[in-house]
Structure 1
Amino acid sequence: MYRAKPELNFFQIFNMCFGFLGIQMGFALQNANVSRIFETLGADYNNLAILWIAAPLTGLVVQPIIGHMSDNTWNKLGRRRPYFLYGAIAASLALIAMPNSPYLWVAAGMLWIMDAAINVSMEPFRAFVGDMLPKEQRATGFSMQSFFIGIGGTIASAMPWILANWLDVSNTAEPGVVPDSVKFSFYFGAVAFFLAVGWTIWSTKEYSPEELDEFAAAEKEAEDKAGRAHAVQIKEHVTHPAEAYLKGGVIWLIIGLVLTAIIQIFSASLDKKLFILSGVLAAFGALQLLAGMFAKQNKADNGFNTMMDDLFNMPDTMKQLAWVQFFSWFPLFAMWIYTTAAVTSHHYHTSDPSSTAYNEGANWVGVLFGGQFAFAALAAVVIPILVKATNLRITHLINLFLGALGFLSFLLIDNPNYLIYSMVGIGFAWASILSIPYTLLANSLPQNKMGIFMGIFNFFITLPQLVAASILGFMVTRIFDGEPIYALLIAAISMAIAGLLTLRVREA
């Protein structure tokens, strides 16, 4: 008779998710202010997407590695908590350094470092919910994370506006210098990040690998007694055939190289940022060839091949969710890149970063992002109720459609003050994106691979961002005559597609 995983009370779930308050403050400061910092240091808004490429690339590399490592870690701090701590230290230092970047290339480099550090802390938090909570409580755990994401994002996004309007901190500076309101916001975020993550590390004890194996065995035993097929179990690693790696590698490498050649030949009419897309395709082919060579030489017993094998052996639910995630995160990346440029140019009628109107508009964008997170915190309370009334898929569909309407309304609203209403739908979509797919996913994953599959799942967050970085600039400049407001129209269409794709997902 195996011991079942115990249910945790409200305060235990609160403590284990509290670190996300700090993590989201770091991400919110980054998302709301990095484009502003880039433009202050001389970047053209047409090149913002290429500068933002650091975020998805670091997530693409860091998250599966950290997921795999945390699955196989156990020391005095535990399994996931060491990564919470290391990431919090690095992210806090990066947040302090970012607004003090003297040159554009330094700021771009700091974005790489800051995003990597935040990802080191964030990725294990997703697996942490799967580790600590029984299946019946995981929706509550991810909703609690969404609640803290909403609160942290609200505070951090609105911080420059709060400092400028309530505490009379300077909101403008000489050309090429980041205003004090932004600098002090990043300093506040650095302290909050470390303290919030530190609270979770101090207050929550992890289960050992042996205990987790016992809990998984108890779940299987209970479902066997009930006569139900056990959807998730501890299983041995499944290898992907060497021949399949080599064949797929050649195909994807050729596609990437041919696309690169086409872009080069027609470089006069094609945006060079499309090289990002062709480079990603070629790199995917090269990685498959490398995995195939290791497998053919019987040298596949390594972390790299393990991650590649798991990528090609994802559960069916994860494959279906991948498409939903792709079309959900593409519009979010468009929002992070272009909202400041869209609102300042379309609603405040200026593109001069040193002007008063621009900085008022940029601060208002911070308030809008804060509103998004505030509505996301409200949505975190509403979503579990809606799930009980319908199911996970229908709830996600409704929220993504609300997000699509929110993005579309940016084009229809003239008064920037009313844009706060647009953030209601986007906030509900954001809370849903950060909770429901992870609940569906966690319920379909083997316990012994929770971290690595959570990391791989984030490919479908980072890949749409890389695609966005490749094509959004081209679409805005060539199709929409350089009007960044239309990036939000593209976002609306993508979010609606994601909602429809949710209907294809099977619940475990």
Structure 2
Amino acid sequence: MEKPRQSRAGLWNINFGFFGIQIGFALQNANMSRIFQSLGEDIEKLPGLWVAAPLTGLLVQPIVGHLSDRTWLGRLGRRRPYFLAGAVLAAIALFVMPQSPSIWFAATMLWILDASLNVSMEPFRAFVGDMLRVDQHSAGYAVQTAFIGAGAVAGSLFPMLMEAIGVSNVAPPGEIPDTVRYAFWFGGLALFLSVMWTVIATSEYDPARMATFETPGGSDEPAVRALASRSHGAGLGWAAAGVCVILIQREFALLREVLLLGALLIGYGIATSAAIALARRGKEKNMLSAIVGDFAGMPPVMKRLAMVQFFSWSALFVMWINTTPIVAQYHFGTTDAASAAYQTAANWVGVLFAVYNGVAAFAALTLLPHLSRRIGQARTHIAGLACGAIGYGSFFLIRDPVQLVASEIFIGAFWASVLAMPYAILASSLPQSKLGVYMGLFNIFVVVPQLLVATVMGSIMQALFPGEPIYTMAFAAGTLVIAAAAMMRVSALTNKSPS
């Protein structure tokens, strides 16, 4: 049975909550390095403080996805309880964050904020698949991308708008400027109200109705039974890799954040062995075995897209961490986080981030649908990845900060493609009853590269180009070239026009 076709108003209501969620992410992405440096942190230590964001996504999204697949709270529905809970917690975190008295308090609040945003965001990805017919997936994720871009523009511009109306943009050493403080407060309110719009304006298909739309392959039992046939060698292999990372960190005196990467590998190895043991005992209804089994049994398209996501998000995380110090140092001539020039540079980064997000919103509704119809979704994404490589590479050639707008136009086209094309390709290949958990597992390939950047990039910077963050942009451009090459494998597998 086919789902009813959603109207334009339906597409709006389904996706509007993402506008507020992205305001939260934009405030976080554009301002957390600024907050950490304003509180006195060194640039080489920024990646370690940022590690909270990807780590929370890694842990939260698969669990929330698994649980949301199995939730039904009457009139509140299946995904919307998670939208609402995450929005309330994120709004609280945004109100408290600007009051941070220390670096570690700010890092803790970043952890809470990112976890809350992830609780809301992951079910939104699955919500589009829940509510839309297959032939509307591209349109649904394009509208979602447009709201992501619009929300990010608003969040990125908040500090500059505060300065424009007379709010102080300078603070004494160890304090956060009022522009940032008020921006976070307004952002928290906007986030809560926009998510409430989607919660109130939509109604989900109940379990009986959803079952009539089901596609084959939605049960946990086959994945868990397949897991039971595996040996414990896989778990031991992951744990051994983690031990090797820890030994390398100690041998070469790398930054302590690298120990976290080793601990995560060991943890995943232990979780894999535990999941296999539970599956062998016939316990098919436990969450750990279900998630690990689904991860091991990903559809072929998802496996190939995973590689593309890995390299794409490595580049994005490099940009979010380093753009403010890069622009301050190379385009405004300062490395002093307490100076007026640094705060001006930080506000200009907010404008640049608004540009790439604004371009993404426009491209999602115009350029991407046109290209995907003409050349297919996979080739459209290859073109988007190439635009990203050009945008990052141009930072080496441009010294006038105004001209960086051109760089951000290319990055905006890349960002639009990252947010829409992989999900549109993926959604049509997943069983309906597992959209939540598979979207959460797909996020692993968004999070793991960010963890690698957060734990390893600081050591690379310290060893190869201390005090020269612009070279991270060369790394980012190179990873996008690799991502484009990996996307060609997806194109060969799908080899069809989008729905």
TM-score tier by shorter-chain length is: over 0.9
Q: Give the conservation status (yes or no) of the 8 Å contact 2:355–2:409.
A: yes
Which of 286, 289, 295 is the aligned partner of 2:273? Answer: 289
Q: Give the conservation status (yes or no) of the 8 Å contact 1:245–1:291.
A: no
Question: What is the TM-score with the length of structure 2 in the denominator?
Answer: 0.96
1:282 partner letter: I
Determine whether 1:484 maps to 2:469: yes
In 2, distance between residues paired with 1:498 and 1:17?
28
SS at match of 1:138: helix
SS at match of 2:174: coil
Q: Which residue of 1 aligns with 2:415?
A: 430
Structure 2 matches for 1:42-441, cutoff 5 A? Answer: 42-76=40-74, 77-164=76-163, 166-216=164-214, 233-235=217-219, 237=221, 238-239=223-224, 240-242=226-228, 244-267=230-253, 270-381=254-365, 382-441=367-426
Q: Give the conservation status (yes or no) of the 8 Å contact 1:477–1:483.
A: no
Q: Which residue of 2 aligns with 1:448?
A: 433
Determine whether 1:497 maps to 2:482: yes
1:266 partner letter: F
In 2, distance between residues paired with 1:349 and 1:104?
25
Give 1:300 deviation, angstroms: 4.5
Q: Which residue of 2 aligns with 1:7?
A: 5
Give 1:71 deviation, angstroms: 0.2
1:9 partner letter: S
In 2, distance between residues paired with 1:212 and 1:137?
17
Give 1:347 deviation, angstroms: 1.3
Which of 38, 41, 49 is the aligned partner of 2:39? Answer: 41
Q: How far does the alpha carbon of each residue in 1:171-224 deviate from its partner, in whole angstroms, 9 at most, with x for none?
A: 00111111110011001110100110000111111111221221236xxxxxxx
1:188 partner letter: F
Give 1:351 deviation, angstroms: 1.1
1:210 partner letter: A
Give 1:245 deviation, angstroms: 5.0
Q: How far does the alpha carbon of each residue in 1:443-500 deviate from its partner, in whole angstroms, 9 at most, with x for none?
A: 1100010100000000000000011112211222211233011111111111121112
In structure 2, the CA distance between the partners of 1:236 and 1:300, relative to structure 1 (3 Å rule), is closer
Determine whether 1:463 maps to 2:461: no
- Higher mean alpha-carbon deviation, 101-110 vs 235-244, is at 235-244
In 1, distance between residues paired with 2:298 and 2:389?
29
In 2, distance between residues paired with 1:456 and 1:419?
35
In 2, distance between residues paired with 1:348 and 1:116?
34
1:117 partner letter: S
In 1, distance between residues paired with 2:81 and 2:357?
28
In 1, distance between residues paired with 2:238 and 2:122?
28
Give 1:75 deviation, angstroms: 1.2
In 2, distance between residues paired with 1:253 and 1:82?
36
Q: How far does the alpha carbon of each residue in 1:135-177 deviate from its partner, in whole angstroms, 9 at most, with x for none?
A: 000100000010011111011101111211x201100011111
SS at match of 1:343: helix
Q: Give the conservation status (yes or no) of the 8 Å contact 2:220–2:290.
A: no
Q: Give the conservation status (yes or no) of the 8 Å contact 1:324–1:501.
A: yes
The runs of 5 or more residues in structure 1 that have no matched partner are 218-231
- Higher mean alpha-carbon deviation, 465-474 vs 62-71, is at 465-474
1:28 partner letter: A
Q: Give the conservation status (yes or no) of the 8 Å contact 1:245–1:288.
A: no
Give 1:301 deviation, angstroms: 2.7
Q: Which residue of 2 aligns with 1:224?
A: none
In 1, distance between residues paired with 2:104 and 2:280?
42
Q: Give the conservation status (yes or no) of the 8 Å contact 2:271–2:288.
A: no
SS at match of 1:328: helix
In 2, distance between residues paired with 1:414 and 1:56?
31
In 1, distance between residues paired with 2:289 and 2:349?
43
In structure 2, the CA distance between the partners of 1:29 and 1:48, relative to structure 1 (3 Å rule), is same
Q: Give the conservation status (yes or no) of the 8 Å contact 1:28–1:153.
A: yes
Q: Give the conservation status (yes or no) of the 8 Å contact 2:214–2:433.
A: no
- Higher mean alpha-carbon deviation, 437-446 vs 204-213, is at 204-213
Q: How far does the alpha carbon of each residue in 1:406-464 deviate from its partner, in whole angstroms, 9 at most, with x for none?
A: 01111110111111111111111111111110011101100010100000000000000
Q: Give the conservation status (yes or no) of the 8 Å contact 1:160–1:185.
A: yes
Kindly report the root-mean-square deviation, in angstroms, between the aligned alpha carbons of the 2 structures. Answer: 1.4
The runs of 5 or more residues in structure 2 that have no matched partner are none
Q: Give the conservation status (yes or no) of the 8 Å contact 1:87–1:119.
A: yes
In 1, distance between residues paired with 2:277 and 2:7?
49
SS at match of 2:212: helix
Q: Which residue of 2 aligns with 1:27?
A: 25
Give 1:298 deviation, angstroms: 3.5
Q: Give the conservation status (yes or no) of the 8 Å contact 1:84–1:124.
A: yes
